[in-house]
Structure formats: C-alpha cells, structure tokens
Chains A and B, each alone.
Chain A
Amino acid sequence: MLESLLGPGGLVLLRDSVEWEGRSLLKALVRRAALRGERVHVLGCEVSEEEFREGFDSGTNSRLVYHDLFRDPLNWSNTGEALPGGPLGVLRALCTRTGPGPVTIALDSLSWLLLHLPCTTLCQTLHALSRQDSRPDDSSPVERVHVLGLLHEELHGPGPVETLSSLAQTEVTLSGSGDQASAHILCRRPQHRPTHKIQWFTILPDFSLDLQGGSPLKSQPHPDPRTHPVDPTSHLTFNLHLSKKEKEAKDSLTLPFQFSSEKQQALLCRGLGQATSHIFYEPDAYDDLDQEDPDDDLDI
C-alpha cells in the first residue's frame, strides 16, 4: 500500500516524531514520483538544498525544483535573495499550474509552515493546492496533483494536527520497533470506508523503498560496534568468584534436607521392631499407683 500512496491525488500527511523521523520517507516518495516522470516541487524550510538533494541520483535531481526557504525565510539578511512574498507567497505561487503533466509538491515541513502562518490560512492554501485537478471549467484533461506534507506531530497541539488530518486523503504515521520502521497508513476515499494498514519498511541508501511483508522477526539485538560492552563484574564492592578450594568444598557439601540413599536405609532399618529405648522408673514413698483413681480425688 505504501507504493500506491501517490496513486490518488490530494494531500498525503506524513506524521513523524523525534524517535521515528519522516524526512527519509518523504525523500523516498519524492524519488518515486521523479522516476515516474513527474515534476517535483520541494518547499524546503528545514534543511538546505544540498542536504535535501544528497543521496538522489542525477535523474531525480534534474526533475526536482527546490524552493529555498531555509537560507533566509524571514528576510533577515536584506540581500534580496529571499523568495518574494515569504512562505505564504511561495505556497500560493505553487497553487497556479505551471505546465501540463502530473506534479508532486513536497512540503518540508508543514510544521515549519504551521509555526509561521495562521492555521486557517495554511489549511485554505493546502486545500487550494491539492484541489487543482478538479476545475470543471477547464477543458484540458485532469492532471493529478500530489501534495506530500511532513508534520512533526510532537510540536503541535491536538487541534492543528487533527485539522490537517481532516484535510488529508492519506495519513501515514511513522513508528517502529527496535531498529525496524513501520508506517501506519490510513486511506480515505470518497464514498468508501477508511482503510488501515501497517507496513514495515526499510529505506535503502539510494532512497528506494524496501517493503517487508509482515512484522519483523524478533532478532537478537545487535551489540553496538561503537560502544565497548561494559563488564558488570568490574569495580564491584563484593566478591563474585570462588577459589578452587571453595568450589570443592561447595560441591562436596550434602544439604540437610536432601533424601539420599544412606538416609533411606537408616529409616528402613528402624522399622524392624528392635527396642531402641528403655524407661527406668523407681517410685517414691508417696506415689500411689492406684489405677482406678490415679488423681486421688474420688470420695469413695
């Protein structure tokens, strides 16, 4: 299902977190769109153009147009290099079609835009951006527009996140277990029930997607080659080891409640009926051995 994320048009929301970053998946989807021949526009707010293009082959890079909002988004340098209109101007400029053919717009990131623009303005612009394909008065064939938005959900409250989520046709929440990443995909199509799927995946160094079938096998955690495993038996305040003599003494010790064969023989021998004890009694002068009245309290 991860491969078909770019199938229907509209907004694809990639929700990532500090623990499971989503930029690699965004780059993988950008590469996939470029390989299909689409033009890709990237609105880059969080990383430099060099860093975003790193890892892409030349074919992908040639189809990628990078709108740089990283170097000087707020026009602090006053050199005139900043993009006109600021972030909102650039976003609105993307809304106007620049040519035929399907186009993919990647927003890196929606979080940055949400922090710098009012939520309502951003939502309205996003709606206009992803709805470019449905213009009834246009006689040209409908071309799909895919909008990929990266959202760091830990930065925002539930309100803006849910608002953006309601705008999205597809939502991908990144998670994982151990070293393996997973994508929880929620797909909304009109007049259909929403579909859920969990897809385990790996992103290879050239940003191609390697999809795994089910959940990963529980593998042994690999020891980190960089760190030296700490020896827990060093620097202790008590002795954990036994000397050879102590080991021998320990092995030859019989436990008090252990039922050995010698004990068994001793118990069996006692049951043969031999008298093993005698009682010697010498009565005193005052002792009265009257069997009928041993307590001497009957007034007979």
Chain B
Amino acid sequence: MFPELNDLLNASPDRAEPGKLTLLCDAETDGSFLVHHFLSFYLKANCKVCFVALVQSFSHYNIVGQKLGVSLTTARERGQLVFLEGLRSAVDIFFRAEGKAHPLQFLREAKAASLQPLYEFVREALEPVDQGEAAWKRPVLLVDDLSVLLSLGVGVVAVLDFIHYCRACVCCRLQLRVLWRTPSPPAQRGRSLTFQYKIQDKSVSFFAKGLSPAVL
C-alpha cells in the first residue's frame, strides 16, 4: 500500500472502515496502482479478501504485491485471500462436467443476462466459516474490473444488479455483527479533492495540481 495515499484518504490498516463501497474510475490513464494499493491495504489490515481478478494473472498481482510488502501466495494458502483468476478459469468452463454453475458462466450464455453465479461465488467466499475464521476481520470484495464484464457482453443492468447484491451482502448483511456504526450526517456534500500523482517503482507521490517540481 502507498502511505501517501493513506494520508490523503485518512485511512490506515488498523482502522479500516466497514460497510463502504468505493468505486475506482480511470479515464485515459491507468488506475491499476489503486487496485494494488487497496489489495495490500486490506491484506495488511487482516481482512478476509475476495479478489475477482479479470484483467491480470495471479502472478502479476503477486509480484506487485511483494513490492508493497504482501505475499498473495501466503495469504491464499492460509485462507485469508480467495482469488478468482478470470483469465485462467474462463477456459475451465468448457472442460468441466455439468454441475454447479461456474462463476463466469455468463461466457457460455448467448444472452449474458445475470451474474448470479458470480455473486454466489463471492458470497460463499466471504461467508464466515465457524471454526478458525475468527482470525480475520471484516470481509472485503475487490473486483478488477467491472468494465471487463461490460466488454464481455454483460448488460449494464446485470452489472448494477451484481454490485447491488454484493453491497447488500458484504456491506450490510455481513456487518450485522458489528455493533458500532458511524452516524452519517445528512445532505453533506461529498467533498472532492483533486491531486496529481507520479508513480515510481515502489511508491506513489501525490501533490496538489500544478505544483510538482517536474511541472514547475
């Protein structure tokens, strides 16, 4: 994770906020460094993470994760990380026997109408198992990324329904055991702040617009 980004977002692994949906958008640039940041952030925060990775392979995320101080292999082995490698498992659909629907079952359907199998995969991955699961804190779902689903022919409403169900499951239902809730003041306009950034090998530096030494 990038410490400067943590400062900007006023976040820290030991006080990860529950019940939030964060949308990462990039336009004409590559925002994937944010995915690596949040993946390492929540693994360091000791959360149970389900990562639906449709863009890159497992080894790619693992290599970048190691630069940021987390090992995805270790996290997966000890059950903290459930990883759906979309690029590899997409091929499995064609070579498996009939049975329970594969999470990416929509690839086989002429009209990709529903992402229910993918939601079922996420729900089962993040459902707490009674024995030995007390070690992990709150569940986290990461999807990289939603536009791949649109490119693969899934309708916008189907993607919205998938996010709706994930939000209801991860942010609300699986949080019912948490007694502490932050009261949210109504009609508070979301503050928007703009920063520019420069990515280096192992870190990202943020600065206010137009004030980088490279610009001046």
Cα distance A50–B172 in the bound complex, in angstroms: 9
Check: A207 CB closer than 8 A to any chain B CB.
Answer: yes
Besides the known contacts A48-B168, A203-B187, 4 further A-B residue pairs in the complex with CB atoms under 8 A apart:
A71-B173, A202-B187, A235-B213, A237-B213
A54 neighbours in B (Cβ, 8 Å): 181, 183-184
Check: B165 CB closer than 8 A to any chain A CB.
Answer: yes
* Contact among A28, A72, A237 with B216 in the assembled complex (CB-CB below 8 Å): A237
Check: A27 CB closer than 8 A to any chain B CB.
Answer: yes
Are A224 and B191 interface neighbours, CB within 8 A?
Answer: yes
Check: A116 CB closer than 8 A to any chain B CB.
Answer: yes
Are B189 and A236 interface neighbours, CB within 8 A?
Answer: no
Q: Which residue from chain B places its CB closest to the CB of A116 in the assembled complex?
A: B157
> In this complex, which of A48, A73, A115 has the most chain B Cβ atoms within 10 angstroms of its Cβ?
A48
CB distance from B120 to the nearest CB of A (A): 8
Cα distance A227–B208 in the bound complex, in angstroms: 11
> In this complex, which of A76, A203, A235, A236 has the most chain B Cβ atoms within 10 angstroms of its Cβ?
A76
Q: Which residue from chain B places its CB closest to the CB of A21 in the assembled complex?
A: B187
1/0 contact string of B172-195 vs chain A (CB within 8 Å): 110000000101111101010100
Q: Do A24 and B186 form a contact, CB below 8 Å, given A230-B207, A230-B208, A232-B211? A: yes
Cα distance A20–B165 in the bound complex, in angstroms: 25
Cα distance A51–B164 in the bound complex, in angstroms: 15
Check: B148 CB closer than 8 A to any chain A CB.
Answer: no
Are A76 and B189 interface neighbours, CB within 8 A?
Answer: no
Which of chain A's residues 29-77 have a Cβ closer than 8 Å to chain B?
A: 48, 50-51, 54-55, 70-74, 76
Check: B12 CB closer than 8 A to any chain A CB.
Answer: no
Q: Do A115 and B211 form a contact, CB below 8 Å, given A55-B186, A76-B165? A: no
> In this complex, which of B10, B116, B168, B185 has the most chain A Cβ atoms within 10 angstroms of its Cβ?
B168
B87 neighbours in A (Cβ, 8 Å): none
Are A236 and B207 interface neighbours, CB within 8 A?
Answer: no
Are B160 and A115 interface neighbours, CB within 8 A?
Answer: yes
Q: Which residue from chain A places its CB closest to the CB of B195 in the assembled complex?
A: A230
Check: B119 CB closer than 8 A to any chain A CB.
Answer: yes
A55 neighbours in B (Cβ, 8 Å): 183, 186
Check: A205 CB closer than 8 A to any chain B CB.
Answer: yes
* Contact among A20, A48, A203 with B186 in the assembled complex (CB-CB below 8 Å): A203
Check: B161 CB closer than 8 A to any chain A CB.
Answer: yes
A19 neighbours in B (Cβ, 8 Å): 189
Q: Which residue from chain A places its CB closest to the CB of B115 in the assembled complex?
A: A76
Check: A25 CB closer than 8 A to any chain B CB.
Answer: yes
A-B pairs with lowest CB-CB distance, top 9? A24-B187, A203-B187, A24-B186, A230-B208, A48-B172, A76-B116, A203-B186, A115-B157, A235-B213
Q: List 12 A-B contacts (CB under 8 A).
A: A25-B187, A51-B172, A54-B183, A54-B184, A72-B168, A74-B116, A205-B186, A226-B10, A230-B211, A232-B208, A232-B211, A235-B207
Check: A181 CB closer than 8 A to any chain B CB.
Answer: yes
A226 neighbours in B (Cβ, 8 Å): 10
A284 neighbours in B (Cβ, 8 Å): none
